[in-house]
Structure 1
Amino acid sequence: MNIEPLLKALSEALSGEGPAVQIAPDGSFTLIPATELGRPAGSETDVAAVVLTSGSTGTPKRTLLSVEALAASSVGTAMALQGEGQWLLALPMNYVAGLQVLVRSLFAGTRPWAMDLSGGFTPEAFTEAALELTDNTRFTSLVPTQLTRLLTNPSAETLTVLRRFNAILLGGGPINPALLEAARGAGLKVVTTYGMSETCGGAVYDGVPLDGVQLAIRDGRVWLGGPVVAAGYLDDAELTSASFSEEEHDGEMVRWYQSGDLGELDSEGRLRVLGRVDDVIISGGLKISAGAVTDGLHRVPGVREAFVVPVPSQEWGQQVAAMVVSSGTEAQLLASAAEVMEAQLLPKTVVFVSALPLLGNGKPDRAAILAALTEAAHAA
């Protein structure tokens, strides 16, 4: 894939010499003039990229990422990873995690290698692309489903290229602790990340905010602040006002983003994400966290992936339903889950699949999963 024209456009946007860039799913890109960003014609704009949110929980939004925000994120990542190097692009470029691979490379002065995703993500294609890297310091960014595929009966060559990465950033959704244990046990340097388009991607690594990023838990909800926070949403002033705010801190104004996630800080002050605010399942008057159910299912032997949602129930209002990738049966799953979870957390509907349906960015397709589980619950 020839990404040179895109890299040139991004470089000009980041240096303030060109308009903002928006990347399409096929890798093509559009230049967004200042007038479309609400600036006067012919004026300079601080916006370098317009990025679609994943849309995993609703309609995608066009997020405005400034030069300052992208630079702060790139510097913070380099500090957290203790250096800069060559990146392997294994995610779609139109989403923030893929874009950031290109941006970090431009700031580092290294050339990224783009994996060919036209045939989908496969261990063979990833291994072939990783072999093209020439720098001694290497990084890549993956979602949990990708790493799961890479570690399911991996070849010796795949393990070799994975071990050569100085860091593998892993984020974009809940991470099965068993996957993390298996990866690190195989000698992989995995760094978990938390963030979103509105924070230039990952802003918290292994539970710790990047340098310059502020983290707060307010009424159980995760807030992220600092220079990595986006300028807002294009053509949506109301949502921008509802999601972003500015507060004075030590004599300086700090920009904050209110996430849709619930979280807490552990005894060491590290962030633990508990699930989404809108993932609370109210069943028979009880409030059940979909994140807690997912965590419980991930502790069941044989479960590689699990996605939990509420489905309508005439008797209970809502009930817990789960789509699971597992080597066991439903009876084995529920029996083992009952040993690690309270009875009210056990899913009433379970659908087994060989792989979760995914969006283009590798995240689980919530709408497709919800439709399949609702159908299964009604058929029961």
Structure 2
Amino acid sequence: MLAVVKEHTGPGFAIKDVPMPVCREDDVIVKVKSVGFCGSDGPILAGTREVPYPLIPGHEFAGDIVEIGTKVRDWKVGDRVSACIVIGCGNCKYCIEGNEPLCDNLIETGIHVDGAFAEYVRVPAKVLVKLRDTTSYDFGAAADPVASAYRTVKRMPLTSKDTVMVLGPGPIGLYATQLLKLRGARKIIVLGADCDRDRLELAKTLGADDVINNSIEDPIKRIREITDGEMLDFVHDCAGAVPLVEIAMNSLKKTGHYYITGLFHQLAPTDLGKVVRSEIDIHGTICYTREEFKECLQLIEDGRIDVTPMITHHYALSDMEKAFEVFMSRQAVKIMLHPEGM
């Protein structure tokens, strides 16, 4: 089968024929129809994030089951499915409590084991979620980034009186904007940089009441103006960028909440004295549970989350080099790849 393979450290990846995955007793083989290019895939292909080599990345996917393991009972060949990235062991304290993203033995598709930048992918049957017959494969592949934002938004003690700022208008930040609108936030602000101009405009159409271009505006001054000096009840950090931490901390009112979805790859300095004096709560979330994934797929299928404007580019899997170039240049919001071609 055709696959995109990260073979070694440093820059570069291969588009090549590799052996088909072998179906194990608890697994299924899925023929990939659509697979999204995630922000975590870029550093893997660029060689700035270490993974087990060789590795086929890709975890935002949907397709058809073509083979099932001998112990699989609830699925059949031909089922249209998507799948969670999170593969919990099922035996540790966190899995038993239904909190598999914190599994002590966590495995993630496309990061620890081969993923969906390929014609076929093997996943455990336990992580599958079925698509409605009317749901497109592109929409099924969108459930993963929605769920990443959803886990965070769901945990917020948000009321209709609260003002929230989303940091980073990438796919997760834009989905967070929609989810916060569904939760009934009084006002939503999205902050980005000059390179995010188009995404900030898109944020306005998806529920943002105000946007801030951090490259040309003083964000704290603008927040003070927007909130009439009251500042923010919540910050939802979908960027994981060190320079934005100080903005987040200085924009929150006393007893404000700082919720973090974006992964930080560098240490961020934080004034913990301010956390104490202002009684600021800081919360982190990672990935999602299978149940949360199912809930997000339903939000998409019911039309409550708008996926269509998010998917801005389509490429055949064989055109990954072009897709990677577009991703790195930030020309796209979400790239969707198709192993069968366009």
- For normalisation by structure 1, the TM-score amounts to 0.27
Q: Which has the higher contact order (CA 8 A, sep 6+)?
A: 2
* Structure with greater proportional strand content: 1
Say which one has the larger Rg. Answer: 1
What TM-score comes out, normalization by structure 2 length? Answer: 0.29
